[in-house]
Amino acid sequence: MKIDRLPNQISRNDFGLLLELTLRHPWLIRKSSAFYDLLSVCESEREASLVLDLVSRINFFTPNDQLDARRRICDKITKEWSLTQVETQIIAINDRELADSSSAYVQQMKGVFAETCGWKTPNFINGLGAAVERVADGKAIVVVDDFCGSGESVSGKVDWIKKKLDEQKKTCRIYVAVAAAMEQSKNAIEPLVDSYFAVTWLKRGISDYLSDPELTAAFTDMKRLESILHKRYGRKKLQDYSFGWRASEALYYSEGDNPPNNNFPLFWWPRLNTGPERDVLIPRI
């Protein structure tokens, strides 16, 4: 393992963690160049320790993990919520022409529901407007997605659904089911729906794991690390994504999927203040 590229020394404990991480998480071996480049921007042993700690707690999901999550969502819908194909529409929160994760997730959910007798293509709808038009009064809507961060987007779309249903004088039960979600999203979503379920609940990467004085030190170090990132990338402003969108402090990566912007930008922001685009640990579009 070549770590001589690091401009600063790391402690023996951190070196051991580095070895352990790359052995325990094969995806880090595949991303070794980006991983070492990430460590190379650390100016102190304390910053390196923070980065290693955060990387060690990235919630990494393989395609098989995601398949298992979809099956658990299916069980939640059909067994615990006792919703049937006669009364239920499973929908994406997409309301734009551009593709997004919820649109893909609705399509993927068809596969696991195919194993459950009776569910058909009309039960799955890719778009909010179509769902509101097609759902009958007294029936159920289930919003599904692979990830929920701050809850801002989902709660906004659910609120829109409820207003449109009210305009059409319909009353429907609304549920939200996702593969993974930040715990803080409960505050935004739970008051609006009949039930909110996540297969995996995620804590904030720094705030929910540390307490002072370590918490203050970690915030100082992360702000210093973010300061080396370019202030803009395309139309995106770094200040909008500090500690992740809405300061979510997410540590989430689903292999083969486009990661959410709720992750710390240190792991996905493609440019530093100087030089060309960098090789990032968790690339996203």
State the total domains in the chain. Answer: 2
Do 26 and 120 lie in a common domain? Answer: no
Q: What is the pLDDT of residue 19?
A: 78
pLDDT digits (tens, 9 = 90+) for 166-212: 999 999 999 999 999 999 999 999 999 999 999 999 999 999 999 99
Do 47 and 67 lie in a common domain? Answer: no
Any domain includes 177: yes
Any domain includes 4: no
Do 127 and 225 lie in a common domain? Answer: no
Average pLDDT over residues 25-42: 88
The last residue of a domain, from among 202, 218, 247: 202
Do 75 and 149 lie in a common domain? Answer: yes
Strands 88-91 and 124-125: parallel
Do 122 and 21 lie in a common domain? Answer: no
How far apart (Å, rounded) are the C-alpha atoms in residues 260 and 283?
10
Q: Using the predicted structure, report yes or no on whether residue 99 has a pLDDT greater than 70.
A: no
Q: Using the predicted structure, report yes or no on whether residue 280 has a pLDDT greater than 60.
A: yes
Do 99 and 36 lie in a common domain? Answer: no
Do 182 and 143 lie in a common domain? Answer: yes
The last residue of a domain, from among 166, 185, 202: 202
Q: Using the predicted structure, report yes or no on whether residue 8 has a pLDDT greater than 60.
A: no
Q: What is the CATH number of the domain that holds 126?
A: 3.40.50.2020
Any domain includes 277: no
Q: Name the pLDDT band for 100 (thresholds 50, 70, 90).
A: low
How far apart (Å, rounded) are the C-alpha atoms in residues 243 and 263?
7
Do 215 and 115 lie in a common domain? Answer: no
Q: What residues pair up with 91 in beta bridges, in sequence order?
A: 125, 143
The last residue of a domain, from among 202, 220, 253: 202
Domain ranges, residue 248: 12-56+210-267
Q: What is the pLDDT of residue 2?
A: 43
Any domain includes 244: yes
Average pLDDT over residues 126-138: 91
pLDDT digits (tens, 9 = 90+) for 202-256: 999 999 999 999 999 999 999 999 999 999 999 999 999 999 999 999 999 999 8
Q: Using the predicted structure, report yes or no on whether residue 6 has a pLDDT greater than 70.
A: no
Is the preceding omega at residue 270 within 30 degrees of 0, hence cis? no
Those residues with Cβ within 8 angstroms of residue 87's Cβ, 6 or more apart along the chain or in another chain: 138, 139, 140
Do 147 and 194 lie in a common domain? Answer: yes
Q: How many CA atoms lie within 13 A of 275 on its CB side?
A: 8
What residue spans of the chain are helical by DSSP H?
A: 12-24, 26-30, 32-40, 45-56, 63-75, 101-113, 128-134, 152-167, 186-189, 214-226
Share of residues in the chain with pLDDT > 90 (%): 75
| DSSP designation for 229 | B
Q: Using the predicted structure, report yes or no on whether residue 84 has a pLDDT greater than 60.
A: yes
178: amino acid identity, one letter: V
Any domain includes 25: yes
Contact assessment for residue 17 and residue 51, using Cβ atoms and an 8 Å cutoff: no
Contact assessment for residue 143 and residue 162, using Cβ atoms and an 8 Å cutoff: no
Do 113 and 167 lie in a common domain? Answer: yes
Q: What is the pLDDT of residue 162?
A: 96
Those residues with Cβ within 8 angstroms of residue 108's Cβ, 6 or more apart along the chain or in another chain: 66, 70
Residue that has been written with the tokens 């008051």 in this structure: 191
Which pair of structure tokens corresponds to residue 238?
Answer: 């770094």
Any domain includes 272: no
Query: Of 19-28, 43-52, 124-133, which range is least confident?
Result: 19-28
Q: How many residues does the chain have?
A: 285
Assessment of whether the complete model's pTM goes beyond 0.75: yes
Do 20 and 143 lie in a common domain? Answer: no
How far apart (Å, rounded) are the C-alpha atoms in residues 72 and 69?
5
